[in-house]
Chain A
Amino acid sequence: EPEVTQTPSHQVTQMGQEVILRCVPISNHLYFYWYRQILGQKVEFLVSFYNNEISEKSEIFDDQFSVERPDGSNFTLKIRSTKLEDSAMYFCASRGTRIRAGQYFGPGTRLTVT
Protein backbone atom coordinates (compact mmCIF):
# COMPACT_ATOMS: atom_id res chain seq x y z
CA GLU A 1 0.00 0.00 0.00
CA PRO A 2 1.36 3.46 -0.86
CA GLU A 3 2.44 5.57 2.08
CA VAL A 4 3.59 9.04 2.99
CA THR A 5 7.23 9.21 4.03
CA GLN A 6 9.01 11.87 6.04
CA THR A 7 12.65 12.65 6.68
CA PRO A 8 14.38 12.96 9.01
CA SER A 9 12.63 11.02 11.75
CA HIS A 10 14.29 13.17 14.38
CA GLN A 11 15.96 16.54 14.02
CA VAL A 12 17.78 18.39 16.75
CA THR A 13 18.62 22.02 16.13
CA GLN A 14 19.70 25.07 18.03
CA MET A 15 17.40 28.00 18.58
CA GLY A 16 17.63 30.46 15.72
CA GLN A 17 18.67 27.90 13.15
CA GLU A 18 16.75 27.09 10.00
CA VAL A 19 15.32 23.62 9.52
CA ILE A 20 13.71 21.95 6.56
CA LEU A 21 11.41 19.02 7.10
CA ARG A 22 10.82 16.82 4.10
CA CYS A 23 7.85 14.78 3.01
CA VAL A 24 7.09 12.59 0.04
CA PRO A 25 3.30 12.39 -0.33
CA ILE A 26 1.51 9.55 -2.04
CA SER A 27 2.24 9.93 -5.74
CA ASN A 28 -1.22 10.55 -7.15
CA HIS A 29 -2.39 12.79 -4.33
CA LEU A 30 -3.10 16.43 -4.98
CA TYR A 31 -3.66 17.94 -1.54
CA PHE A 32 -0.88 18.26 1.00
CA TYR A 33 -0.84 19.26 4.62
CA TRP A 34 1.42 19.93 7.55
CA TYR A 35 0.27 19.42 11.12
CA ARG A 36 2.15 19.60 14.36
CA GLN A 37 1.69 17.97 17.73
CA ILE A 38 3.39 19.40 20.77
CA LEU A 39 4.11 16.59 23.22
CA GLY A 40 0.98 15.62 25.11
CA GLN A 41 -1.27 17.95 23.16
CA LYS A 42 -3.62 17.60 20.25
CA VAL A 43 -2.69 17.63 16.60
CA GLU A 44 -2.89 21.14 15.16
CA PHE A 45 -3.24 22.18 11.54
CA LEU A 46 -0.49 24.34 10.10
CA VAL A 47 -1.01 24.65 6.38
CA SER A 48 -2.58 23.04 3.34
CA PHE A 49 -1.25 23.16 -0.21
CA TYR A 50 -2.96 22.56 -3.51
CA ASN A 51 -2.20 23.41 -7.09
CA ASN A 52 1.23 24.75 -6.16
CA GLU A 53 0.01 27.27 -3.68
CA ILE A 54 -1.08 27.54 -0.08
CA SER A 55 -4.75 26.75 0.21
CA GLU A 56 -5.24 27.54 3.86
CA LYS A 57 -3.07 28.28 6.87
CA SER A 58 -3.57 28.56 10.60
CA GLU A 59 -2.50 31.29 12.98
CA ILE A 60 0.48 29.16 13.94
CA PHE A 61 1.83 29.38 10.40
CA ASP A 62 3.45 32.77 10.64
CA ASP A 63 6.22 34.36 8.57
CA GLN A 64 8.77 32.00 10.07
CA PHE A 65 7.18 29.11 8.22
CA SER A 66 7.11 28.36 4.53
CA VAL A 67 6.20 25.41 2.37
CA GLU A 68 7.36 24.35 -1.02
CA ARG A 69 6.88 21.61 -3.53
CA PRO A 70 10.22 21.92 -5.29
CA ASP A 71 9.66 19.00 -7.64
CA GLY A 72 6.98 16.52 -8.48
CA SER A 73 7.46 14.42 -5.38
CA ASN A 74 8.75 16.35 -2.35
CA PHE A 75 6.79 18.66 -0.08
CA THR A 76 8.84 20.63 2.41
CA LEU A 77 8.22 22.69 5.51
CA LYS A 78 10.86 25.27 6.37
CA ILE A 79 11.16 27.05 9.69
CA ARG A 80 13.49 30.01 9.21
CA SER A 81 14.55 30.77 12.75
CA THR A 82 13.51 28.07 15.18
CA LYS A 83 12.25 28.84 18.66
CA LEU A 84 12.09 26.56 21.68
CA GLU A 85 8.31 26.37 21.31
CA ASP A 86 8.68 24.92 17.81
CA SER A 87 9.72 21.65 19.44
CA ALA A 88 7.02 19.22 18.37
CA MET A 89 6.18 16.29 16.17
CA TYR A 90 5.49 17.48 12.64
CA PHE A 91 3.22 15.38 10.49
CA CYS A 92 2.84 15.58 6.76
CA ALA A 93 -0.38 14.32 5.20
CA SER A 94 -1.75 13.98 1.71
CA ARG A 95 -5.12 13.35 0.18
CA GLY A 96 -6.36 12.28 -3.21
CA THR A 97 -9.51 13.39 -4.95
CA ARG A 98 -11.65 10.93 -3.01
CA ILE A 99 -12.51 12.98 0.05
CA ARG A 100 -13.99 10.06 1.92
CA ALA A 101 -10.65 8.25 1.82
CA GLY A 102 -9.38 10.80 4.32
CA GLN A 103 -5.88 12.10 4.73
CA TYR A 104 -2.91 9.77 4.86
CA PHE A 105 -0.32 10.71 7.43
CA GLY A 106 3.40 10.22 7.41
CA PRO A 107 5.26 8.85 10.45
CA GLY A 108 6.25 12.32 11.57
CA THR A 109 9.46 14.20 12.23
CA ARG A 110 10.31 14.93 15.83
CA LEU A 111 11.87 18.38 15.99
CA THR A 112 13.80 19.28 19.12
CA VAL A 113 14.97 22.87 19.48
CA THR A 114 17.61 23.42 22.13
Chain B
Amino acid sequence: AQTVTQSQPEMSVQEAETVTLSCTYDTSESNYYLFWYKQPPSRQMILVIRQEAYKQQNATENRFSVNFQKAAKSFSLKISDSQLGDTAMYFCAFMKRPQTGANNLFFGTGTRLTVIP
Protein backbone atom coordinates (compact mmCIF):
# COMPACT_ATOMS: atom_id res chain seq x y z
CA ALA B 1 0.00 0.00 0.00
CA GLN B 2 1.09 3.54 -0.64
CA THR B 3 1.20 6.18 2.08
CA VAL B 4 1.90 9.87 1.81
CA THR B 5 2.96 11.91 4.82
CA GLN B 6 2.93 15.65 5.21
CA SER B 7 4.39 16.50 8.58
CA GLN B 8 3.61 20.24 8.57
CA PRO B 9 -0.10 20.82 9.23
CA GLU B 10 0.29 24.59 8.98
CA MET B 11 2.88 27.02 7.68
CA SER B 12 3.07 30.71 7.05
CA VAL B 13 5.32 32.87 4.93
CA GLN B 14 5.74 36.56 4.32
CA GLU B 15 4.69 37.82 0.94
CA ALA B 16 7.59 37.69 -1.58
CA GLU B 17 9.51 35.20 0.57
CA THR B 18 10.24 31.55 -0.18
CA VAL B 19 8.66 28.60 1.59
CA THR B 20 9.19 24.86 1.36
CA LEU B 21 6.51 22.29 2.08
CA SER B 22 7.58 18.76 2.95
CA CYS B 23 6.24 15.45 1.75
CA THR B 24 7.45 11.91 2.18
CA TYR B 25 5.93 8.77 0.80
CA ASP B 26 6.28 5.07 1.09
CA THR B 27 5.91 2.66 -1.79
CA SER B 28 7.37 -0.50 -3.22
CA GLU B 29 6.65 0.68 -6.74
CA SER B 30 9.52 1.79 -8.96
CA ASN B 31 7.45 3.68 -11.51
CA TYR B 32 5.10 6.34 -10.23
CA TYR B 33 4.09 9.95 -10.37
CA LEU B 34 4.05 12.56 -7.67
CA PHE B 35 1.88 15.65 -7.63
CA TRP B 36 1.24 18.73 -5.60
CA TYR B 37 -2.34 19.98 -5.59
CA LYS B 38 -3.53 23.29 -4.24
CA GLN B 39 -6.93 23.71 -2.62
CA PRO B 40 -7.83 27.38 -2.05
CA PRO B 41 -10.79 28.39 0.11
CA SER B 42 -13.04 27.82 -2.90
CA ARG B 43 -12.27 24.11 -2.28
CA GLN B 44 -11.45 23.24 -5.89
CA MET B 45 -8.35 21.09 -6.28
CA ILE B 46 -5.85 22.57 -8.69
CA LEU B 47 -2.79 20.75 -10.00
CA VAL B 48 0.34 22.75 -9.21
CA ILE B 49 3.19 20.57 -10.35
CA ARG B 50 4.03 16.96 -11.23
CA GLN B 51 7.10 14.76 -11.18
CA GLU B 52 7.71 11.44 -12.89
CA ALA B 53 9.76 9.14 -10.71
CA TYR B 54 11.97 8.03 -13.60
CA LYS B 55 13.10 11.60 -14.22
CA GLN B 56 16.05 12.78 -12.18
CA GLN B 57 15.54 16.41 -13.04
CA ASN B 58 13.35 18.29 -10.61
CA ALA B 59 10.16 19.71 -12.07
CA THR B 60 9.65 23.46 -12.23
CA GLU B 61 6.55 25.50 -13.01
CA ASN B 62 7.18 29.23 -12.79
CA ARG B 63 7.49 30.06 -9.06
CA PHE B 64 6.92 26.44 -8.04
CA SER B 65 9.64 23.83 -7.98
CA VAL B 66 10.17 20.48 -6.33
CA ASN B 67 13.06 18.73 -4.68
CA PHE B 68 12.59 15.07 -5.54
CA GLN B 69 14.82 12.66 -3.67
CA LYS B 70 13.83 9.20 -4.88
CA ALA B 71 16.08 7.23 -2.57
CA ALA B 72 14.84 9.14 0.44
CA LYS B 73 11.25 9.04 -0.88
CA SER B 74 10.95 12.74 -0.38
CA PHE B 75 9.11 15.25 -2.56
CA SER B 76 9.12 18.80 -1.24
CA LEU B 77 7.51 21.82 -2.85
CA LYS B 78 9.26 25.19 -2.96
CA ILE B 79 7.24 28.31 -3.59
CA SER B 80 9.33 31.33 -4.48
CA ASP B 81 8.21 34.94 -4.32
CA SER B 82 5.07 33.95 -2.38
CA GLN B 83 1.90 35.77 -3.29
CA LEU B 84 -1.31 36.28 -1.35
CA GLY B 85 -3.08 34.05 -3.87
CA ASP B 86 -0.87 31.17 -2.79
CA THR B 87 -2.79 30.96 0.47
CA ALA B 88 -4.37 27.52 0.33
CA MET B 89 -4.22 23.95 1.50
CA TYR B 90 -1.51 22.04 -0.33
CA PHE B 91 -1.77 18.30 -0.84
CA CYS B 92 1.01 15.98 -1.90
CA ALA B 93 -0.25 13.01 -3.92
CA PHE B 94 1.13 9.76 -5.28
CA MET B 95 -0.01 7.69 -8.22
CA LYS B 96 1.34 4.37 -9.43
CA ARG B 97 2.24 4.31 -13.07
CA PRO B 98 -0.74 2.42 -14.40
CA GLN B 99 -0.28 -0.69 -16.48
CA THR B 100 -3.98 -1.10 -16.99
CA GLY B 101 -6.95 0.56 -15.40
CA ALA B 102 -7.38 3.94 -13.94
CA ASN B 103 -5.10 4.13 -10.90
CA ASN B 104 -6.09 6.53 -8.20
CA LEU B 105 -4.26 9.20 -6.27
CA PHE B 106 -3.14 8.75 -2.69
CA PHE B 107 -3.16 12.02 -0.82
CA GLY B 108 -1.32 13.29 2.21
CA THR B 109 -3.12 15.09 5.01
CA GLY B 110 -2.24 18.49 3.62
CA THR B 111 -0.37 21.61 4.72
CA ARG B 112 -2.30 24.81 5.24
CA LEU B 113 -0.18 27.67 3.92
CA THR B 114 -0.91 31.26 4.81
CA VAL B 115 0.85 34.07 2.99
CA ILE B 116 1.12 37.11 5.22
CA PRO B 117 1.04 40.56 3.61
Residues of A within 8 A of B (CB): 31-33, 35, 41-45, 48-50, 55-56, 58, 89, 91, 93, 95, 99-108, 110
Name 11 interchain pairs, CB-CB below 8 A, sorted by A.
Answer: A31-B102, A42-B108, A42-B110, A50-B101, A56-B104, A91-B45, A93-B45, A95-B102, A100-B33, A101-B50, A102-B33
Given the interface pairs A91-B45, A104-B47, A107-B43, the reply to whether A49 lies near B102 with Cβ below 8 Å is: yes
Q: A42-B91, A105-B45 are in contact. Are A100 and B52 (CB under 8 A)?
A: yes
Is B102 in contact with A41, judged by CB distance below 8 angstroms? no
Q: Across the interface, do B43 and A55 meet the contact criterion of CB distance under 8 Å?
A: no
Please tell me if the beta carbons of A45 and B102 are within 8 angstroms of each other in the complex.
no
Across the interface, which residues of B come within 8 angstroms of A101, CB to CB? 50
Q: Is the contact region of chain B dominated by helix, strand, or loop, or is it mixed?
A: loop
Is B106 among interface residues, defined by CB-CB distance under 8 A? yes
Q: How far is the CA of A32 from the CA of B103 in the complex (A)?
A: 10
| B interface residues with partner A (beta carbon < 8 Å) | 33, 35, 37, 42-47, 50, 52, 91, 95, 97-98, 101-110
Residue among A33, A43, A49, A106 with most chain B CB within 10 A:
A43
Smallest CB–CB gap between A105 and chain B, Å?
Answer: 4
CB-defined contacts of B45 to chain A, threshold 8 Å: 43, 91, 93, 105, 108
Contact indicator A33/B102 (Cβ below 8 Å): yes
Q: Determine if A89 and B43 form an interchain contact, defined as CB atoms under 8 angstroms apart.
A: yes
CB distance from A55 to the nearest CB of B (A): 4
In whole angstroms, what is the CA distance A71 to B39 when docked?
A: 30
The 3 A-B pairs at the shortest CB distance, nearest first, are namely A48-B102, A105-B45, A55-B102
Chain B proximity of A83: nearest CB distance (Å) = 22
Contacts of B110 in A (CB 8 A): 42
B101 touches A45 (CB 8 A): no
Give the shortest distance, in Å, between A68 (CB) and chain B (any CB): 16
Contact between A43 and B43 (Cβ–Cβ < 8 Å)? Answer: no
Residues of B within 8 A of A102 (CB): 33, 35, 47, 50
